[in-house]
């Protein structure tokens, strides 16, 4: 049992960081820098991103962001999401955690790198009216959809599987708006009500659509190339992510709620069990948070 647990922990670390054993260098470098960063211990962002609910939120946001054909085209045409999906996941986690736990300089450097990559992500897609439209990954409107879908997913998942958030969901959305600004989002929403209103606007505009690309992407997210030992837990988390999505979006995605076991076990409860096991296996304080606390201690902040 001990051997299996260690193997499972190694495979889990490899999935999220690309490094099976040691802590990645970029995580250790979060201890560098001469300022406290955009977010501090006790912030809503630390509470949400330090929670295991992010594992469900990450799946949920991939599904939600795929509903916009322009955002999906950029991923589908240019990303290595099929050739190297775990590498792409690790890069996304690196940006999120750098903005969450790093210094301001680190956050700006990481964001500049992402935006530079986005500069070459251009092409065209067919919108819901059958018209061919150009897209660019750094287009403010596409960035806005990505940001709003992110805020919607992380608050929804944390509400179900996370703990208390200082200041509540509004505080998280207000604080994480800084990440949106860094990426080029103009006047990002600052409250849960504003996020909900924007989600309604996107849905009512008819810009979200289901097509063969979306179906293929959803199927890939449902069955990613993970190690066999990780698949049972992942399938539960996928079902939980689906259960947290509003019915109107689930219908577009072509997904239904799922239950598990000979006695129907709600996916929400099953996910709690999986997330508790992951937390027990990996520890309560992640290496990114610890690096941030080391930097803050060096700078004389209460950490």
Helical pair 267-282 and 53-65, crossing angle rounded to 10 deg: 120
pLDDT digits (tens, 9 = 90+) for 182-205: 999 999 999 999 999 999 999 999
pLDDT tens readout for residues 33-44: 999 999 999 999
pLDDT in tens, 47-67: 999 999 999 999 999 999 999
Q: Looking at residue 24, what DSSP letter applies? A: P
Per-residue confidence (pLDDT) for residue 147, from 0 to 100:
97
Calculate mean pLDDT across residues 165-170.
97
Conformation bin of residue 235: beta by default, left when phi > 0, alpha when psi is -120 to 50: alpha
CB 56 within 8 A of CB 234: no
- Look at residue 285 and give its three-state secondary structure: coil
Mean pLDDT confidence for 2-20: 57
Exposure on the CB side of residue 258, measured as CA atoms within 13 A: 15
**Composition of the chain by helix, strand, coil, percent to 5:** 65, 5, 30
Mean pLDDT value across the chain: 87
Q: Is the pTM of this model over 0.85?
A: yes
């Amino acid at each position: 049992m001990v051997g299996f647990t260690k193997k499972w922990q190694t495979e889990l670390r490899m999935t999220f960081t690309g490094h099976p054993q040691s802590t990645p260098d970029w995580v250790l470098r979060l201890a560098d820098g001469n300022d406290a960063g955009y977010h501090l211990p006790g912030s809503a962002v630390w509470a949400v991103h330090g929670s295991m609910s992010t594992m469900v939120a990450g799946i949920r946001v991939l599904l939600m962001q795929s509903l916009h054909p322009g955002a999906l085209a950029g991923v589908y045409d240019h990303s290595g999401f099929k050739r190297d999906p775990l590498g792409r996941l690790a890069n996304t986690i690196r940006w999120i955690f750098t903005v969450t736990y790093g210094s301001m300089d680190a956050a700006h450097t990481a964001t500049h790198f992402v935006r530079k990559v986005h500069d070459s992500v251009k092409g065209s897609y067919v919108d819901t009216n059958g018209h061919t439209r150009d897209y660019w990954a750094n287009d403010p409107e596409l960035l806005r959809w990505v940001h709003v879908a992110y805020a919607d997913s992380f608050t929804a998942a944390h509400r179900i599987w996370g703990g208390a958030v200082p200041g509540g969901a509004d505080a998280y959305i207000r604080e994480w708006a800084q990440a949106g600004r860094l990426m080029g989002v103009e006047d990002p929403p600052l409250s849960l009500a504003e996020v909900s209103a924007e989600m309604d606007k996107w849905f009512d505009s008819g810009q979200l659509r289901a097509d063969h690309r979306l179906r293929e992407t959803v199927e890939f997210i449902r069955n990613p190339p993970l190690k066999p030992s990780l698949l049972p837990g992942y399938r539960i988390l996928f079902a939980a992510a689906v259960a947290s999505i509003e019915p109107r979006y689930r219908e577009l995605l072509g997904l239904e709620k799922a239950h598990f076991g000979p006695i129907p076990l709600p996916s929400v409860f099953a996910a709690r069990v999986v997330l508790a096991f992951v937390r027990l296996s990996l520890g309560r304080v992640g290496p990114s948070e610890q690096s941030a606390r080391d930097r803050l201690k060096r700078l004389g902040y209460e950490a």
